[in-house]
Every structure is written in structure tokens, then in C-alpha cells.
Amino acid sequence: MAALHDALTPVFDEVIRRNPGEAEFHQAVREVLESLGPVLGKRPEYADAEIIRRLCEPERQIIFRVPWVDDAGRVQLNRGFRVEFNSALGPYKGGIRFHPSVYLGIVKFLGFEQIFKNALTGMPIGGGKGGSDFDPKGRSDAEVMRFCQSFMTELYRHIGEHTDVPAGDIGVGGREIGYLFGQYKRITNRYESGVLTGKGITWGGSQVRTESTGYGTVFFVKEALAARGMDLEGRRVVVSGSGNVAIYATEKAQALGAKVVATSDSSGYVVDEAGIDLDLLKEIKNGHRGRVSDYAARRDSAHFVAGGSIWDVPCDIALPCATQNELDADAAAALVRNGCLIVAEGANMPTTPEATRVLREGGVVFAPGKAVNAGGVATSALEMQQNASRDSWSFEHTEQRLSEIMSSIHARCLETADEYGAPGDYVAGANIAGFTHVADAMLALGVI
Ligand code: NDP
Ligand code: 2IT
């Protein structure tokens, strides 16, 4: 671990003491605090107003019971969360995750990161995150619907277009957002489009929101390569995960001339030296909610590796797009050994702190999730903008806006890194640029 500025050690100790057993939250806080030392020297007013301590304490945390009835008529029970972390810049904004691993520490790490990511987009959105330990795998549409309805029956009282605007994340896509929006509309008797993002195109959704996180990830990589006199043409790319972010990162990487040679899910990975057949992958994943092993079974050029590390597959560009801490120090060492140029995080915090260090020491460019995957939430903010004006934009216009946002995020990271004496360091740039933006708003709003 890198050292903390003297003034930040007690702040971090307090976070650990007040949030016991929440390892992912501690990790996310530590990563930001390690970047903030140089800021304290330049801006003593932040310390005077206890901005950092206040940022580490969520404004509100909601935990609730989610009972529902399965197809066999049995009562099932899950726990729901919404952590409303910071609203200095706008209504709380961030996704909802349905995965059996979800507990308060995961929701808080995601909500904390979301504050800085959202600030970095330059759009008027605060930070929040929610979720449940519900596992949608193997559940029927009717079970998922009943679960979503029960979840929203509590959540509705806490959200609203000017209060808190959830969206998707792991396990929550178009189907779930539909059920959640339907129940919100029914309970409140309001067609309040701006209360959720990631909606279907025919009922208030935005073009490109489905594609935006993955496309934005590749737009960021394109900028990072261009800054070094390179492009994506002919590059070998490995993308972990095979969900929303991974699929559309693969699509855009292929469109820009790269060759994506591996994909994965929680059961293992697939190598396809002919390049991933995205139509087939989409059919299996989106159409049937199948596994990557099904892909290998249907494609001669592909083979499936159960378990193992996808990062052993040699590549120029590595895009971790599955989940937190999926890329560890051994994986990073393999990437360095194989001559990887850049690791860009499509997922939230997929790279462990040790792995980040190995990559940097090995000369691999490292671009953190809060900058790289910000295109998803930025396009959510564009969806809110369209909802507020009862308008809908074309795919081309929306994609153009996304591309401009990603290039401005990239530029802000580099400018800020330069300004604070860490040229080329995307981690320092993203953390400091996001932090100063939200910190200035908090100063202006007083002690609240
Ligand atoms: P999806 O649910 O669509 O896909 C998740 C993928 O990651 C699946 O292939 C899944 O495999 C795999 N995965 C999930 N959890 C684990 C785990 N514990 N171990 C191994 N593999 C796992 O989610 P998204 O694509 O939406 O999200 C992926 C990442 O991107 C997350 O970190 C999310 O927070 C982040 N993100 C998402 C945004 C969005 O707009 N959707 C925006 C910004 C970031 P399996 O099916 O086997 O579980
Ligand atoms: O992690 C994220 O940025 C998301 N899951 C998307 C959040 C959003 O509100 O679109």
C-alpha cells in the first residue's frame, strides 16, 4: 500500500473503525485518499471544513426486507439496500446490483466511487448505489418480476427524479428496470420518467444507454492510445465478463479494428483466436441467459477453460468488465510478462491494489473505472435530460455526446495529473479531478 498523507491517516482509521468488516469499502476509500495528499497542501480549506471526513460518511443508508413468493409458492426473503452517499452536485445517481455477494460493504464501495465518477462527468448528478443479495440466475421472469415489485414497494418512498435516480448494474438490465419502473408508476400513480434510467426506448429510455458503458470504455482507450501515438487497429484485446459492459466494449473495440480474443463469465473463460463472434455471444447471453461454455460448444475456433485466469491470454489491451477484485497481482504479472500496453477498467474496482502496483511498475498504462466506465452514468444523465425536456435524441447524436464526454474526461484526468505533479497518472487525475469538483460544491453549500 502507498503511504497516506499525515492528515489523512486518522481519517482512514476512522473509516475502518466506523465501518467494521466492509473490506471493499475500505479499499475504495483508501485508493482515493492515497491520491489526495497533494490536494491538501494546495487547498487547506478542504481540511478546515472536514470535507474528506464528511465525504466518507453516506448522507443516508437504507436497509430493508424484501419478501417475495417463488414459482413453487414458497416465501423467499432477501435484503435490499440503497446508500445515498452524496448529493452536493445533484440527485443521488447510481445503479442497483442484484447478486448473492451483495452486502452493505459492496453497496458502500460502489456508492463512494460513484460520487467521484459522477463528478468527473461534469454533469449535475450526486452519488448513490443500491442492490440486493437476490440471485436472478435460474429464476423465471415471473419470479424476477415479483422480486422487483417487492423491492420497489419499499424503495419507491426514497427515490424520485429530483431525489435519487437508480439504474442498472450487475444482474439488473432492461428487464428488471421495466418491472421496477412499472411498480413505481403503479404505487405513485405518476409517469415520472426521470426516476430511473436504463428504460426501454419506447417508454422513456435513451438511445445508446444500453451500449454506453462498453462503448465509453473503448472511447477512453482510444484517447489513451492516441495520446501515445497509437490506435486500436489490429490490437489484441481480452475482455472479461460477458454481460452488458463486456458485450458492448467488445462491439466497439471490433468496430474500431481491434480483435477481441477472449471472453468470460463466473464459470471460466473462452479463447477464440478467430475473434469473438459477437452475434453468437449476444444470442447466447442476451437471448438465452446462457454460459460462455455454450459459445465454445458452438464455435470451432473457440475453446473453454473452466476456472483459470483469463489474464493469462496474451493481449495488447485488457478490459476487466466483470466485477471487483477480479484481476489480482498474479494476473497483473502475467499481463506484464505478455507485453500488455494498457489495462482499462470497464468494471468498478476490478483490479486489486497489489495488481495496480504490479502493472504500474511493469510499465503498463492503467486507467481506473471511475474514469473509464463513466460513460454509462453520463448517458444516464443524458436520459434524464431527455426525460426532463420530453425529448428523444437520435442514436448518432447521443453517441456523439458520449464520445465528447469520454474525451473530455480523459483530458481532465491528464490535465489534473499534470497540475498535481503526477503526469500521465490516470488514477491521481481521476481521483483529484472528481474530488475537487464535489469538494468545491460541498464548501459552497455549507456544513450539511
Ligand atoms: P452484468 O450482470 O450484465 O454482467 C456481469 C458479468 O460479470 C457476467 O459475465 C458475470 O458472470 C460476471 N460476474 C459478475 N459477478 C462475478 C463474480 N463475482 N465473479 C466472476 N464473474 C462475475 O453486469 P454489467 O456488465 O452491467 O456490470 C459489469 C461491471 O461493470 C460491474 O463491475 C459494474 O459495477 C460495472 N459497471 C456497469 C455499468 C452499467 O451501466 N451496467 C456502468 C459502470 C460500471 P455470471 O453471469 O457468471 O455471473
Ligand atoms: O457503476 C455505474 O456507474 C453504473 N452501474 C451506472 C449508474 C447509472 O446511474 O447509470
What's the CA-to-centroid distance between 367 and ligand 1, angstroms? 18
Topology of domain 60-192, per CATH? Answer: Rossmann fold (3.40.50)
Ligand 2 residue neighbourhood (C-beta within 6 Å) = 93-95, 114, 117, 167, 169, 197, 348, 376-377, 380
Mean pLDDT in order along the chain per 10 residues (448 residues):
90 98 98 96 92 98 98 98 98 98 98 98 98 97 98 98 98 98 98 98 98 99 98 98 98 98 98 98 91 97 97 98 98 98 98 98 98 98 98 98 98 98 97 98 96
> What residues contact residue 376 under an 8 Å CB cut-off, 6+ apart?
167, 209, 212, 213, 216, 245
> Is 93 labelled a binding residue?
yes
Task: Note whether 1-57+425-448 and 212-363 share their fold.
Answer: no
Cα 223 off chain centre by: 19
At 2 the pLDDT is 80
Q: Whose CA is nearest to atom 13 of ligand 1?
A: 322
Q: Whose CA is nearest to atom 9 of ligand 2?
A: 94
Q: Whose CA is nearest to atom 3 of ligand 2?
A: 377
- Which atom of ligand 1 is nearest the CA belonging to 241? 9
Q: Name the architecture of domain 212-363.
A: 3-Layer(aba) Sandwich (3.40)
What's the CA-to-centroid distance between 334 and ligand 2, angstroms? 30
> Is 168 labelled a binding residue?
yes
Q: Whose CA is nearest to atom 36 of ligand 1?
A: 347
- Torsional class of 16: left (φ above 0), alpha (ψ -120 to 50), beta (otherwise): alpha
What's the CA-to-centroid distance between 25 and ligand 1, angstroms? 18
What's the CA-to-centroid distance between 243 and ligand 1, angstroms? 6
> What residues contact residue 195 under an 8 Å CB cut-off, 6+ apart?
159, 160, 161, 165, 181, 184
What's the CA-to-centroid distance between 288 and ligand 2, angstroms? 24
**Angle formed by the axes of helices 23-42 and 426-445, nearest 10°:** 80
Superfamily of domain 1-57+425-448 in the CATH hierarchy: Glutamate Dehydrogenase, chain A, domain 3 (1.10.285.10)
At 106 the pLDDT is 98
Instruction: In whole angstroms, give the CA distance from residue 15 to residue 3.
Output: 16
Sign of the torsion formed by the C-alpha atoms of 18, 24, 27 and 28 = negative
Instruction: In whole angstroms, give the CA distance from residue 200 to residue 435.
Output: 33
Instruction: In whole angstroms, give the CA distance from residue 357 to residue 3.
Output: 13
Burial (CB count within 10 angstroms: exposed 0-12, middle 13-18, buried 19+), residue 254: middle
Q: Whose CA is nearest to atom 11 of ligand 1?
A: 265
At 287 the pLDDT is 80
Ligand nearest the Cα of residue 346 is: 1
> Is 76 labelled a binding residue?
no
> Is 117 labelled a binding residue?
yes
At 318 the pLDDT is 99
Question: What is the β-pairing status of strands 92-98 and 317-320?
Answer: unpaired
Instruction: In whole angstroms, give the CA distance from residue 264 to residue 267.
Output: 8
> Is 189 labelled a binding residue?
no
Domain chopping of the chain, boundaries:
1-57+425-448, 60-192, 212-363
At 288 the pLDDT is 83
At 286 the pLDDT is 85
- Which atom of ligand 1 is nearest the CA belonging to 374? 43
> Is 101 labelled a binding residue?
no
Q: For 211-247, how does the pLDDT look when each residue is reduced to its tens digit (9 = 90+)? A: 999 999 999 999 999 999 999 999 999 999 999 999 9
Cα 20 off chain centre by: 24
274 phi/psi in degrees, rounded to 5: -80, -5
Active site residues: 129
Q: Whose CA is nearest to atom 18 of ligand 1?
A: 323
Decide if 322 contacts 349 (C-beta within 8 A). no
At 99 the pLDDT is 98
Cα 370 off chain centre by: 7
Instruction: In whole angstroms, give the CA distance from residue 139 to residue 149.
Output: 15
Ligand 1 residue neighbourhood (C-beta within 6 Å) = 99, 101, 168-171, 173, 213, 241-246, 265-267, 321-323, 346-348, 373, 376
What's the CA-to-centroid distance between 319 and ligand 1, angstroms? 12
